[in-house]
Structure 1
Amino acid sequence: MRHDTHEAHAHHHEHHEHHEQHDHDQHRTAPDGSWATAVRATLHCLTGCAIGEVLGMVVGTALGWGNTATLVLAIVLAFFFGYALTLRGVLKAGVGLRAAVRVALAADTLSIAVMELVDNGVIVLWPGAMDAGLGDALFWGALAIALAVAFVLTTPVNKWMIGRGRGHAVVHRYHH
């Protein structure tokens, strides 16, 4: 009986060492999960989101659309431009379109979703922001502050994902 217990313990120890080595290898090949890396990834995400968000808000407001239609347009365009920026870089690295689309979806979906939730939440909750016109300082001020708040709250999400080999860590595999 004691011999069986010893063998089971030895097998468990070998199995544990194998997992530690596997984890070590993964961390060595993944980009670092530093705050600087997360900030760069979030700035990349913010660029695409801001282009789409601003364009959507400007178009919806200029056309006199209601709040819901304007928000939907802004969110759709934010996702479109966010994915497009990532696709551009991955395609430039020589990855085929189908694989590049999968990389962009894996890299950006959560980051863009968090950024859009926070950004649009700030705008919707800001008194008068959704009713401000393009010539109003409130329109531009609320939009700028909303994007800044979204950046601050999305950066830790990106840090968490990159530290686990997800999010923009997926994109970094194609930049080398």
Structure 2
Amino acid sequence: MTWRTAASATPHCLTGCAIGEILGLVIGTALGWSTAPTIVAAVALAFFFGYLLTLIPLRRAGVSWGTAIKLALAADTVSIIVMEIVDNGVMLVIPGAMDAGLTNGLFWGALAFALLVAFLVTTPVNKWIIGRGRGHAVVHAYHH
């Protein structure tokens, strides 16, 4: 298993997580929610979009819903968990990031930095998982 393979699998996870994370943080921030419900929404949406981005190509490849869901859970769960812990953790430790408004550069800068850190931390995790025939390795055959 090469670093290149892991680095190419991680953006897939990052894309789904980023869509959900950004959407959840924007919704929570726009509605004036406190930190906890905002993060819960962001994490829930990150899992939803992370799994969805795996389900779509599997369904297009003719995989049944039941099998596609099992494959998505096997392929993405650990990666999404790690990514969500890291990016939300970074947002929490940057002073004022969670309280900054949507028009504040601190919010967007912190979020971009959090997603970058999450990518850097999750890539070696994905390398380890894929090297053991798990994670994105279980759906690789359907990506062509």
Shift of 1:173: 2.6
Q: Distance in 2 between the 1:175 and 1:108 partners?
A: 14
Q: Distance in 1 between the 2:128 and 2:73 partners?
A: 17
Give the residue type in structure 2 aligned to 1:136: N
Residue 150 of structure 1 is matched in structure 2 by 118
Task: Give 4+ residue runs of structure 1 displaced > 2 Å after superposition.
Answer: 173-176
1:86-105 to structure 2, matched below 5 A, reads: 86-105=54-73
| Among candidates 91, 101, 104, match of residue 123 of structure 1 | 91
| Among candidates 106, 110, 120, match of residue 138 of structure 1 | 106
| Among candidates 78, 83, 100, match of residue 110 of structure 1 | 78
> Matched residue of 2:113: which SS?
helix
TM-score (norm 1): 0.80
The percentage of aligned residue pairs carrying the same residue is: 68
Q: Distance in 2 between the 1:112 and 1:161 partners?
A: 12
| Among candidates 29, 36, 39, match of residue 61 of structure 1 | 29
Q: Distance in 2 between the 1:97 and 1:43 partners?
A: 24
> Matched residue of 1:129: which SS?
coil
Higher Rg of the two aligned structures: 1
How big is the alpha-carbon RMSD for the aligned residues of Structure 1 and Structure 2? 0.7
Q: Deviations over 1:21-57 (max 9, x none)?
A: xxxxxxxxxxxx2111101110000000000000000
Residue 43 of structure 1 is matched in structure 2 by 11
TM-score (norm 2): 0.98
Q: Distance in 2 between the 1:67 and 1:161 partners?
A: 31
- Structure 1: gaps of 5 or more residues: 1-32
User: What is the aligned residue count?
Assistant: 144
1:1-20 to structure 2, matched below 5 A, reads: none
